[in-house]
């Protein structure tokens, strides 16, 4: 599973290597929802035996997906790819209501690994619909979480708002009472601008009682704001299709620090380190700690690294597993 590390660029001994200050963000990496989703797949394999099918990537991280494949998980895009006699797990991002309905119609054994914080947004959408409100949903078109959330309500009852410009121009149905909800993995700062504009245009719009952006997303963005000002470059470990990881790059850049998204150590170009005396390092919520240490080990092949962990908050959230896997 380990990617090959770059060799030393020359024959210098460690003592002769130039120094590098490494500021490591905390919290970083796995959140409670990701921990839960991975454990759900592992326990399903233990309970039902391999193979266990997983609809979509359980989380957006190739390293995690490959590790689960090695244990007996088979990843597919749709339920049509799941045999009638095989168990299936739904990803942490959530699914439209039509997916479990189809699984029940086919009498499939299924386990829902949707993050509880995403499920909370699903319930909020249903409640706003019951109150007769049209929902403006702030999120990124095509993201699995957005597809899953918009699939909780009938077509036409929710309008997607992606940008501040969308918030300025969106035209909800005439005379409709309005509510807004958000994807859980958005930029805290960008979302605040969008919601402020919606509230300016529609003073009676109903917002969620608590922020929809999840604690892990908010905490990791706050941690990047702590390491970025003292860094010449920020490295974010995460997948290109991981919304929360891409947001971390944007947060660093908004702080005025260049940032790069990498999937693991092998992606680092030694040329990036030219003229760099300090690097900030973090990982998206789907990236395991092994990849963080892999990056640190790679940097130590090129530089004398002095590590500092900057703790912005301590997380202790734990989510329960589905009852069918604990009975």
72 neighbors 52 (Cβ within 8 angstroms): yes
Annotation marks residue 145 as catalytic = yes
Question: CA-to-CA distance for 68 and 45, rounded, in angstroms?
Answer: 10
Identify the three-state secondary structure at position 124. helix
CA dihedral of 168, 169, 175, 180, whole degrees rounded to 10:
-50
- Of 110, 196, 181, whose CA–CA distance to 139 is shortest? 181
Q: Strand pairing of 52-55 and 88-90?
A: parallel
Tokens of 266: 């092998």
Question: CA-to-CA distance for 148 and 37, rounded, in angstroms?
Answer: 16
Identify the three-state secondary structure at position 247. helix
Bond from prior residue into 31 cis (ω within 30 degrees of 0): no
Tokens of 24: 């490591």
Question: CA-to-CA distance for 51 and 57, rounded, in angstroms?
Answer: 15
Q: Which of 145, 197, 199, 315 is catalytic?
A: 145
Catalytic positions are 145
């Amino acid at each position: 599973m380990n990617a090959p590390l770059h060799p030393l660029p020359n024959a210098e001994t460690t003592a002769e290597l130039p120094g590098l200050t490494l500021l490591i963000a905390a919290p970083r990496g796995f959140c409670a929802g990701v921990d839960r989703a991975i454990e759900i797949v592992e326990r399903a394999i233990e309970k039902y035996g391999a193979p266990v099918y997983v609809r979509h990537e359980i989380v957006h991280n190739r390293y995690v997906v490959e590790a689960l494949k090695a244990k007996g998980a088979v990843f597919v895009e749709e339920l049509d790819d799941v045999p009638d006699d095989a168990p299936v797990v739904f990803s942490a991002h959530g699914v439209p209501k039509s997916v479990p309905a189809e699984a029940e119609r086919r009498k499939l054994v299924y386990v829902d690994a949707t993050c509880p914080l995403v499920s909370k947004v699903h319930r909020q959408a249903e409640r706003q619909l019951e109150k007769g409100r049209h929902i403006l949903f702030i999120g990124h078109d095509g993201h699995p979480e957005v597809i899953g959330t918009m699939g909780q309500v009938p077509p036409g009852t929710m309008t997607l708002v992606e940008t501040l410009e969308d918030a300025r121009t969106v035209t909800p149905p005439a005379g409709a009472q309005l509510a807004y909800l958000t994807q859980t993995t958005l930029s805290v700062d960008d979302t605040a601008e969008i919601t402020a504009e919606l509230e300016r245009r529609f003073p009676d719009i109903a917002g969620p009682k608590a922020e929809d952006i999840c604690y892990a997303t908010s905490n990791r963005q706050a941690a990047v704001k702590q390491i970025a000002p003292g860094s010449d470059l920020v490295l974010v470990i995460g997948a290109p299709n991981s919304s929360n990881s891409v947001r971390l790059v944007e947060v660093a850049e908004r702080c005025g620090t260049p940032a790069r998204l990498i999937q693991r150590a092998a992606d680092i170009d030694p040329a990036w380190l030219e003229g760099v005396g300090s690097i900030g390092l973090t990982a998206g919520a789907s990236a395991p700690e092994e990849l963080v240490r892999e990056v640190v080990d790679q940097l130590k092949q090129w530089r004398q690294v002095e590590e500092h962990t900057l703790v912005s908050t301590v997380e202790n959230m734990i989510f329960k597993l589905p009852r069918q896997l604990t009975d």
